Structure 1
Amino acid sequence: MNKDSKMDIQVAPLRTLDDFILGESRFQVPDLQNIDRWFNRIVNNLLYYQTNYILSALVIFLLVTIGNPHHMLYGIITMGLVFGLMYYSSSNNAQVAEFKQNHPFIVMMGSLFIGYYFILQIGCVSVFMFGVALPVMFIILHSSLRLRNLKNKAANIADVLGVAKRTPMGIFLREWGIEPNPKFIS
């Protein structure tokens, strides 16, 4: 694999509103007895509807930000500094990079907790967390309840087989160590 193909990132297409949430979409409560299947439904929907989720999260985030912009700005700057420091540390220290690669979930949760602590000290936790938590809750709820259609399954097969181009959500999920399970594609 050459260097150019490793950096070849494609933004996933914006799915129609009809497909995403209106007429064509089908919703069903997941089988809570089969956690692996439910988790895989979430991952596959995150990959398929990623542009819709990003746009929805942005709209919700902006609505919350309009209500209290300075607290949101403080929270964004704080989290940006925490994640920037994490990125800088992993780029310049082989031990940190190795730990991040071996334990991505621990590193991400540690960064979130450190950021939360600093935001708590600033005093803008409720606004920032509401601005972040509400979009995340919408995305998790939608991806949990949305049944996959034929196009979704075909796109997921292409992603699992590695023939699809890398997408922002795919990169984000891989950073957390999450990949779709081909066993639950059908």
Structure 2
Amino acid sequence: MEVQFAPLRPWDEFMLRSARFAQPDFRDLEKWNNRVISNLLYYQSNYLAMAVGIFIVIGFMSPLEIILGGAVLVLIFMGSMWASENKAAIGHFKRRYPSMFVLAILLMSYSFISIIGGVMVFLLGITLPLLLMFIHASLRLRNLKNKFENKMEEVGLKKSPMGIFLHALGQEQEHLSKFADMLATQNKD
């Protein structure tokens, strides 16, 4: 299946008048996680544009440090993905605690960059966009188009870069993944 980029959502839908925001239910972590993942999938082009904008602004101020920080993050991410596929203990940890796995990647990146310098650039250029994405995805309520697009992604009718990335990190919507597994089982029979 061909990877399709999600369209850039209108600013009005992303942040302004038609956007609806509410505090997530911190007692229901699964529902909160589903909201975050749904919004990451639906608004992925908007988040990418925001991250690139912040990355460019910080990059102009400290180009060498931003390149170094980005390279370290990519290398640690790729190493973590390789380790989770080839080392059973790490793969088990990733499947059992996917959010902790993502946090471990960020902490390893931060630790390595603090040793070689450029911590502020890492915090501003890499972590700030991730934090802003997480805050928006946590607070933004889903709409009907959002839910429909995400179901298409989870069932396998559509594939996007964010969907591939979230799957690699072990971040999936459990109930939709179970639905896709059920459909696959029925198709084999």
Query: What's the TM-score bracket when you normalise by the shorter of the two chains?
Result: 0.7 to 0.9
Q: Structure 1 CA distance, aligned partners of 2:104 and 2:139?
A: 29
Q: Percent identity?
A: 37
Kept in 1, the 8 Å contact 2:70–2:126? The answer is no
Residue pairs, 1:54-73, within 5 angstroms:
54-73=48-67
1:177 to 167, 170, 173: 170
- State the partner residue of 1:117: 111
Q: Over aligned residue pairs, what C-alpha RMSD do you find? A: 2.5
Once the 2 structures are TM-superposed, how far is the Cα of residue 13 of structure 1 from its aligned partner?
1.2
Structure 2: give runs of 5+ residues left out of the alignment: 177-189
- Where in structure 1 are there 5+ consecutive unaligned residues? none
Aligned to 2:34: 40
> Is the CA contact 1:42–1:144 (under 8 Å) kept in the aligned structure 2?
yes
The one-letter code sitting in structure 2 at the alignment partner of 1:166 is K
1:153 aligns with 2:144: no
Shift of 1:84: 4.8
Distance between the aligned counterparts of 2:174 and 2:51, measured in 1?
Answer: 25
Deviation at 1:119, TM superposition (A): 1.2
Q: Would the aligned equivalents of 1:75 and 1:124 in 2 still touch at CA under 8 Å? A: yes
1:122 Cα deviation from its structure 2 partner: 1.4
In 1: Cα distance, 2:103 partner to 2:130 partner: 15
Q: Cα gap change, 1:110/1:148 in structure 2, threshold over 3 Å: closer, same or farther?
A: closer
Shift of 1:114: 3.8
Displacement of 1:35 in angstroms is 1.9
Deviation of the 1:181 alpha carbon: 3.6
Per the TM alignment, residue 110 of structure 1 is displaced from its structure 2 partner at its CA by: 5.0
CA distance in 2, matches of 1:145, 1:107: 23
